[in-house]
Amino acid sequence: MQLRSTLFALGIMCMLLGLAMVPSALLDILAGDGRWPIFVSSAFAVTSLGAALYALTRDERPPRTGQREAFLLTVLVWVVLPALAAVPFMSWGMSFTDAMFESISGLTTTGATVLTGLDDLPRGLLLWRAILQWFGGIGIIVTAIAILPQLRVGGMQLFEIESSDQSGKFLPRVTEIAAQTGLVYLLLTGLCAFLYYQTGMRDVFSAITHAMTTMAAGGYSIHDDSLGHYQDTAAPWVAIAFMTIAGLPFSLLALAFFHNRWRGFVSNPQPRLYIALILILSASVFAWLTFGAELDGDDHPGLRPVRDTVFSVISVMTGTGYATAGYDGWGTPALVIFLFTMFLGGCAGSAACGIKMFRLELSAKAVIAHASRMVQPHRLIPVRYEGKVVDEDTLQSVMVFVFLYVATFIIAAMLLSLLGLDPLTAISGAATSVSNVGPGLGEVIGPDGTFQTLPDAAKWVCATAMLLGRLEFVAVFVVLSRRFWAG
């Protein structure tokens, strides 16, 4: 294994993370906040570490990164960077556990938080939370488009880009794809911020930070009541539009932006299933609220039932985690729907979380094909996706992913229950962590609560589930296997 290339790339990522702390330092200096040295010293320490790694592993020859190195780099990035991103939180006064929880939740764009009193926190710290999620969002997109297909993780090989050059192609491809998707990501973030500002967020800082966490499908807000703070404006409608976009494949968005190929959104099965599920789930929740729920006036969505229903469904499904209403108080049927929605996620190659649309479709088709073969054993029934026959290796990858996903959820829920959490908090906490959603359900970690009161051990269980969910499970277990290090 060529560790030099892995550490070289990790050094670059550390330097970028350190430089990302500079805007928070500048904002605190301009605001006259005396805690600006926190970000200055943190930026210097992290950037210096990255520069040292870069200098020690730099070589005149281009770094060669194969599949094994890519596996290791993918895991190291999502483990090392959260630890470094926690430095400003610890310097600000948070415990090691809370700082790690907040940084892991930020970089994985989960959006679960242990902080309260957000409206009174320094703007530099609030900006750092937004930067973490925005930085994590583009990292997730590039990982899903450029890295996971080559590693054949969870069936992502379906989206592997054809190339005649099979040697040393990993880093050049990441650079090329990151440039295109990064520009689309930046443009959409700017447009979202502009529309937020025009529709109710009359503070430029609020518009920018919320735009960053919306496009990352992250959900960190600068207000304790999340986007409910802008309940009487049109800002939630803007959030609905851009949360939906964040769950779409960014490869298709890049093709549409740069090559005017908009047909992909019609011909590709992922966006179709994604939009269909949003409509079906929203209609189901709305029907329950309209005809079946017995709620007090304060708990019911009131005069904005359609907006709050669609907003809540999209927020949970994409893993954004914003809230405009306490949807955990809409009755048991709504709770069941939202718990189910947590697992779905968006499209492959998006900033969203969850199982993803293509895996849901392939799993359903595989079950149907298997049932048909049980009735007619001698009949060949291939599973097709986008008109092409899916090979057994891809189907196996999908099934392994789904198994690990469910197993991780069950183990996390059991551990949280053993740590003293009530059933709803334990189950929804495990689901929201492994699916990178953010808020759970119930009084403790619901839309109106935080993870602050959870025991430290429970926070580590949730944080581990967040990392496993973002790393698509398989990559972690591959790196932890004996064979990975032996051969």
Q: Which residue has the tokens 């890519």?
A: 70
Whether 200 contacts 235, CB under 8 Å? yes
Of 58, 55, 46, which is closest to residue 13 (Cα–Cα)? 46
Residue 76 exposure: Cα atoms within 13 Å on the Cβ side: 17
Tens-place pLDDT, residues 235-249: 999 999 999 999 999
Over 80: is that where the pLDDT of 327 sits? yes
All structural domains of the chain with their residue ranges = 1-94, 96-487
Quick: pLDDT tens for 89-110.
Answer: 999 999 999 999 999 999 999 9
The torsion region of residue 397 among left (phi > 0), alpha (psi -120 to 50) and beta comes to alpha
Closest CA to 385 of 273, 277, 278: 273
Paired strand residues for 384? 389
User: Whole-prediction pTM value?
Assistant: 0.91
> CB count, 10 Å around CB of 228?
20
- Is residue 401 within 8 A of residue 153, CB to CB? The reply is yes
Tokens of 206: 């609020």
Burial status of residue 53 (CB atoms within 10 A of its CB: 0-12, 13-18, 19 or more): buried
Q: What is the pLDDT of residues 410-455, one digit of tens each?
A: 999 999 999 999 999 999 999 999 999 989 898 899 988 899 999 9
Q: How far apart are CA 375 and CA 356, in angstroms?
A: 30
Give residue 16's pLDDT.
93
d(CA 464, CA 458): 10
Give the pLDDT confidence score for residue 171 in this predicted structure.
46
DSSP 366-407: HHHHHHHHHHSTT-----EETTEEPPHHHHHHHHHHHHHHHH
Q: Do residues 103 and 85 touch, judged by C-beta distance below 8 A?
A: yes
pLDDT (tens digit, 9 = 90+) per residue, 145-200?
877 887 778 888 877 754 434 434 444 456 677 788 889 999 999 999 999 999 98
| DSSP string for residues in 31-84 | HT-TTHHHHHHHHHHHHHHHHHHHHHH--SSPPP--HHHHHHHHHHHHHHHHHH
